[in-house]
């Protein structure tokens, strides 16, 4: 008897663990059930991917969607829609909202807010404080939690665990890998006096290389002392990559498209506050080192740190301007442009945005095109040239630091659990996102 399927993706170049191949992918019940060659008559729907690349769904494991409390900047619905339009199939959202996600009740509130509103699959971080270490073990075991986030240096919001004793207490309270914003708060506070009014170039003086390096050195020592796994976010310095190269036993590493694409001083001269983020975009030598580390395998994950602010806030003179830029919708076009420019291979892009997050966070059933996995696909046209514009980006803030960027490589379809969410630049299914499942928190099967 001939097998039948819900959907067949035909005639595309499929990027799977075995490499790139011209094969079809068959989907049934939201899962990949077969890879090979199939007749269109075997499926209720066929998608002709001739000339296109079918990638595992891109996962953005660091975003700030600002809800609750800061919905004038962004919200779960608008930013998830922006993600889907950019070819992203799942996002992990940060805890520095208002109120912060520091209790089981607040984590449950975010999950409830996401139901029926977020177009993409999602998970939420638990935020660590000095006061809630007793709750973190419970929170990291909750469905829909991707782990604990620790701010060692202050950024947007009031979450902060800046001292060694506090960081050690957090690490001892948890079992899963924790994510860290690693900048030394003591040094940041001391150097705040070096901020020059109206001069964004001074951002890299205030938040200098040593603020990042000294914090990451302390963090690695504490991770080894406690025997715990850490994920160090948005690495921005050459010196940190030297440390992290020798710490693969305890530390996984993230870099951002912004740090791989923009460089000081040009970005601050051109974009001013719209280039301001924490840790800052630094000089070219650091960007060169990040690329070397990425292609040497030191980097495990690329994510965006999508962190929108209202345009009028970003127009304030430094240092009154807030740090953070949107990036979830531009993620795939920016990185595919780097692929086309020879900065990394398409296989490496997939490792960093699908297989890498799956491995680092222990995601269940996602991250690769293989039988039995969720039918999550980012379908891209590697040859398509488009100009990124503010009109195209649909984040609520309405701006992007990449306005006018000439991209080569473009997302043309976002498929989540076998359902088209974006097709040819249009949202085709709204509010269908579900919580991401993790190996360490799988629910027992019912008898």
Q: Is the pLDDT of residue 166 over 60?
A: yes
Measured distance CA(170)–CA(103) in Å, rounded: 14
pLDDT in tens, 152-165: 998 766 789 999 99
Collect all residues with Cβ–Cβ distance below 8 Å to 112 and sequence separation of at least 6.
Answer: none
* pLDDT given at position 157: 63
Share above pLDDT 70 across residues of the chain, in percent, rounded to a whole number = 99
Which pLDDT score, from 0 to 100, does residue 165 have? 98
Q: Is 429:355 a contact under the CB 8 Å cutoff?
A: no
pLDDT at 302: 98
- Confidence check: pLDDT of 123 > 90: yes
184 an active-site residue? no
pLDDT in tens, 247-294: 999 999 999 999 999 999 999 999 999 999 999 999 999 999 999 999
* pLDDT of res. 19: 83
423 burial class (0-12, 13-18, 19+ CB within 10 angstroms)?
Answer: middle
Segment 69-86, tens digit of pLDDT:
999 999 999 999 999 999
Which residues contact residue 92 at a Cβ distance below 8 angstroms, ignoring those fewer than 6 apart? 59, 60, 61, 62, 63, 122, 123, 124, 125, 146, 303, 357, 361, 436
Question: Residue 16's pLDDT band (boundaries 50, 70, 90)?
Answer: confident
Query: What pLDDT is attached to residue 18?
Result: 74
Residue 174's pLDDT band (cuts 50, 70, 90): very high
Residues 6+ apart with CB under 8 A from 383: 51, 408, 409
pLDDT reported for residue 2: 81
Q: Are 148 and 176 in contact (CB under 8 A)?
A: yes
Compute the average pLDDT of residues 161-181: 98
Using DSSP, state whether 354 is helix, strand or coil: helix
Global model pTM greater than 0.95: yes
Computed over every residue of the chain, the mean pLDDT equals 97
pLDDT given at position 159: 87
**pLDDT > 90? residue 298:** yes
- Confidence (pLDDT) at 349: 97
How does residue 444 score in pLDDT terms, banded at 50, 70 and 90?
A: confident
Residue 34 exposure: Cα atoms within 13 Å on the Cβ side: 17
Tell the residue number behind the tokens 């924790």, with chain if given. Answer: 178
Give the length of the chain.
447
Give the integer Cα–Cα distance in Å for 87 and 389.
Answer: 16
- Residues 325-370: pLDDT tens digits? 999 999 999 999 999 999 999 999 999 999 999 999 999 999 999 9
| CA–CA separation, 395 and 242 (whole Å) | 35
Q: How sure is the predictor about 443, in pLDDT bands with cuts at 50, 70 and 90?
A: confident
pLDDT confidence of 414, banded at 50, 70, 90?
very high
pLDDT given for residue 154 in this prediction: 80
Rounded Cα–Cα distance for residues 352 and 175 (Å)? 24
Whose structure tokens read 């696909």? 377
Backbone angles phi, psi at 202, to 5 degrees: -75, -5
**Span 142-154, average pLDDT:** 96
Segment 391-402 mean pLDDT: 98
Higher pLDDT, 405 or 155: 405
pLDDT at 158: 72
State the pairing for strand pair 251-255/230-232. Answer: parallel
pLDDT at res. 445: 72
Angle (CA) 158 161 166, round 5°: 150
**Catalytic residue among 60, 75, 300, 305, which?**
305
Give residue 447's pLDDT.
Answer: 56
């Amino acid at each position: 008897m001939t097998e039948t399927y819900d959907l067949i993706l035909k005639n595309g170049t499929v990027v799977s663990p075995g490499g790139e191949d011209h094969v079809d992918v068959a989907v049934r019940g939201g899962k990949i059930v077969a890879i090979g060659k199939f007749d269109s008559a075997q499926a209720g729907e066929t998608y002709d991917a001739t000339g296109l690349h079918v990638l595992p769904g891109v996962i953005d494991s660091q975003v700030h969607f600002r809800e609750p409390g800061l919905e004038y900047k962004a919200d779960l619905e608008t930013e998830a829609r922006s993600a889907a339009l950019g070819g992203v199939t799942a996002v992990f959202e940060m805890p520095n909202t208002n109120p912060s996600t520091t209790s089981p009740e607040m984590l449950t509130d975010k999950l409830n807010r996401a139901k029926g509103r977020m177009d993409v699959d999602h998970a939420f971080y638990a935020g660590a404080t000095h006061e809630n270490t007793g709750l973190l073990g419970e929170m990291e075991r909750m469905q829909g939690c991707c782990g604990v986030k620790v701010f060692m240096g202050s950024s947007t919001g009031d979450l902060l665990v800046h001292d060694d004793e506090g960081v050690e207490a957090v690490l001892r309270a948890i079992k899963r890998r924790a994510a860290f914003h690693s900048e030394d708060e003591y040094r940041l506070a001391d150097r705040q006096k070096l901020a020059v009014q109206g001069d964004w170039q001074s951002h890299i003086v205030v938040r200098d290389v040593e603020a990042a390096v000294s914090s990451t050195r302390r963090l690695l020592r504490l991770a080894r002392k406690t025997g715990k796994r850490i994920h160090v976010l948005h690495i921005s310095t050459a010196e940190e990559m030297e440390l992290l190269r020798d710490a693969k036993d305890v530390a996984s590493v993230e870099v951002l498209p912004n740090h791989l694409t923009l460089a000081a001083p040009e970005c601050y001269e051109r974009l001013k506050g719209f280039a301001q983020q924490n840790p800052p975009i630094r000089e070219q030598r650091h960007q060169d080192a990040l690329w070397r580390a990425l292609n040497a395998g030191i980097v495990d994950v690329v994510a965006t740190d999508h962190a929108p602010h209202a345009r009028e806030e970003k127009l304030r003179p430094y240092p009154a301007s807030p740090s953070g830029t949107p990036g979830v919708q531009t993620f795939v076009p920016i990185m595919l442009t780097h692929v086309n420019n020879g900065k990394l291979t398409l296989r490496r892009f997939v490792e960093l945005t699908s297989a890498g997050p799956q491995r680092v966070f222990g995601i269940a059933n996602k991250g690769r095109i293989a039988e039995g996995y969720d039918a999550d696909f980012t379908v891209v046209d590697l040859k398509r040239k488009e100009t990124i514009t503010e009109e195209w980006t649909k984040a609520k803030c309405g701006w992007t630091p990449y306005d006018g960027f000439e991209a080569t490589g473009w997302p043309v379809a976002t498929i989540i659990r076998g359902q088209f969410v974006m097709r040819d630049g249009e949202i085709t299914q709204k509010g269908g996102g579900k919580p991401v499942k993790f190996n360490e928190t799988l629910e027992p099967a019912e008898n």
